[in-house]
Amino acid sequence: MLITGLSGFTGRYVADALRAGGHEIIDPEVASPGFDLKEPESLAKALAASKPDAVIHLAAISFVGHSDPADFYRVNTIGTVNLLEALVRAPIPVRKVVIASSANIYGNALVSPIDETSTPAPVNHYACSKLAMEHLVRQWFDRLPIIVTRPFNYTGRGQGAQFLVPKIVGHFARREPVLELGNLDVARDFSDVRDVAGLYAELLLSAAEGEIVNVCSGRAYSLQWIVDTCSAITGHELEVRVNPAFVRADEIKSLVGSTAKLDAQVSVLRRELDLTLAWMLSPGDYGA
């Protein structure tokens, strides 16, 4: 099985989940040095060298605050199209292609929980690039066994410090006196990255194809709750300051997903977020 973005935060956990099931994992960057989603020829070389029976496409620019907006479209949108074109042209029958989109495409949805029929309303370039990617991917539904996932927020050991939960956890782990955040009342549907990895592995092995499915917990947690929980776990209190520079005008206030469609296709036990935070605050490597 080939995983794009294998060396990234999510990729490592997905690879662990699949290896635990006895599957061989292929890193396209190892199979074909110089692998680049923006270069169709490098994709063809990687597929010819690895001959995967299935693909999980995770590689993307995922940090909303990335400095160059055009990069979102070059990698997330056009890069995905390049990959699908290469798969169609390659003389390799794949039994499943799992593509990661994002729940950010929903924007400030007016319904809760948000299901897959909710009207997209993206409010940033990351979300727009993912929605554009989804529309283009549909053109391959009749040529490849594709399932598109819309993951909501998730976290765990090894996630970059530029993301909110690792930032909060890091401040408590270092027992720092002050933490600067944006809006504390925003609420997100958070999952444990290990649960998300398990869900990707199950979807890869499922019969589902030609569909879009949320990957989420169905539960909302505010940033204030996360701060309070980290404080309770560590016994450390710090001062939280709202930094106006961190308050985005296009901030999505609440994002909670419906798990109904996902639950009909897979079965993974979901961890409560306080257990995830305790794991992140304890010593150990990323996958412990």
Residue numbers annotated as active site? 126
**CA separation for the pair 211, 147 (Å, rounded):** 5
The SS3 call for residue 257 is strand
Question: Measuring CA to CA, how many Å separate 193 from each of 93, 173, 201, 217, 283?
Answer: 29, 19, 12, 11, 17
Of 139, 262, 106, the closest CA to residue 210 belongs to: 139
DSSP-assigned letters across all residues of 157-177: TT--TTSHHHHHHHHHHTT-S
Of 25, 21, 28, 22, the closest CA to residue 5 belongs to: 28
The SS3 call for residue 111 is coil
**CA separation for the pair 282, 288 (Å, rounded):** 10
**CA separation for the pair 273, 248 (Å, rounded):** 25
113 upstream amide cis, omega within 30 of 0: yes
